[in-house]
């Protein structure tokens, strides 16, 4: 096994992170369940691209190629572990679901009030002074987003439900699960 000592150099303000590691911070690869994506460092991609397609024995591959494939295989297993269950698949699709369910209303809100961030703060400041349809759109966006977020939090750690049920956006556990 090869240990790159450059990665262990420490400065006073923290670790030196070579530019080629920024895609995955300081790891060779990762599976991000919230983004539904498997990431590999650029050097791992290059090693994988250097392997001719087909079945190979380990004697035909360099140590770096074997390590690169091992990283890819390892992260792929994480991907399968996550999406291999109904809950894992649903959790992976949380962010696309939040964007999809609110897409139409968000487009109309951009026309109505412009590109505002945060909608939650905007709603708190302008509550009561908004036109009916704009207020309804903001309401739908906030409730839809929170319903799906509550589902995720309840599914991952139901013991923390007390933090959720006190939210003004919480209707019920069943409603959150239904929306998700």
Task: Say if residue 79 is in the same domain as residue 110.
Answer: no
| Claim to verify: residue 155 and residue 174 sit in the same structural domain | yes
33 and 97 inside one domain: no
Are 151 and 175 in the same domain? Answer: yes
Domain count, the chain: 2
Among 85, 114, 145, where does a domain finish?
85
Of 101, 122, 98, 121, which Cα lies nearest the Cα of 112? 122
- Per-residue pLDDT in tens (0 to 9) along the chain, 180 residues: 566 665 555 554 555 555 555 566 567 888 877 677 788 888 899 999 999 899 988 899 999 999 999 999 999 998 888 878 888 888 888 888 898 999 999 999 999 899 988 899 998 898 778 778 998 999 999 999 999 999 988 988 888 888 888 888 899 989 998 988
Q: Among the three residues 51, 85, 119, which one is the final residue of a domain in this structure?
A: 85
Out of 33, 64, 85, pick the residue that ends a domain.
85
Does one domain contain both 79 and 106?
Answer: no
> Which residues have C-beta within 8 Å of that of residue 106, sequence separation ≥ 6?
141
Same-domain pairing of 25 and 64: yes
Write the pLDDT tens digit of every residue in 2-13: 666 655 555 545
3-state SS, the chain, equals: CCCCHHHHCEECCEECCCHHHHHHCCCCEEEECCCCEEEECHHHHHHHHCCCCCCCCHHHCCHHHHHHHHHHHHHHHHHHHHHCCHHHHHHHCHHHHHHHHHHHHHHHHHHHHCCCCCHHHHHHHHCCCCCHHHHHHHHHHHHHHHHHHHHHHHHHCHHHHHHHHCCCCCCCHHHHHHHC
Q: The whole model's pTM is what?
A: 0.63
Structural domain harbouring 28: 5-85
């Amino acid at each position: 096994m090869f240990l790159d000592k450059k990665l262990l150099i420490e400065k006073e303000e923290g670790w030196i992170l070579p530019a080629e590691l920024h895609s995955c911070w300081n790891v060779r690869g990762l599976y991000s369940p919230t983004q539904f994506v498997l990431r590999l460092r650029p050097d791992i991609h290059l090693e994988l691209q250097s392997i001719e397609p087909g079945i190979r024995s380990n004697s035909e591959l360099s140590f770096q190629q074997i390590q690169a494939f091992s990283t890819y295989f390892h992260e792929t297993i994480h991907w399968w572990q996550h999406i291999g269950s109904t809950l894992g698949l649903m959790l992976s699709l949380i962010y696309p679901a939040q964007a999809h369910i609110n897409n139409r209303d968000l487009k109309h809100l951009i026309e109505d009030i412009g590109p505002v961030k945060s909608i939650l703060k905007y709603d708190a400041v302008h509550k009561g002074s908004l036109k009916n349809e704009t207020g309804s759109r903001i309401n739908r966006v906030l409730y839809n987003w929170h319903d799906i977020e509550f589902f995720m939090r309840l599914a991952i750690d139901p013991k923390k439900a007390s933090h959720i049920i006190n939210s003004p956006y919480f209707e019920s556990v069943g409603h959150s699960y239904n929306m998700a």
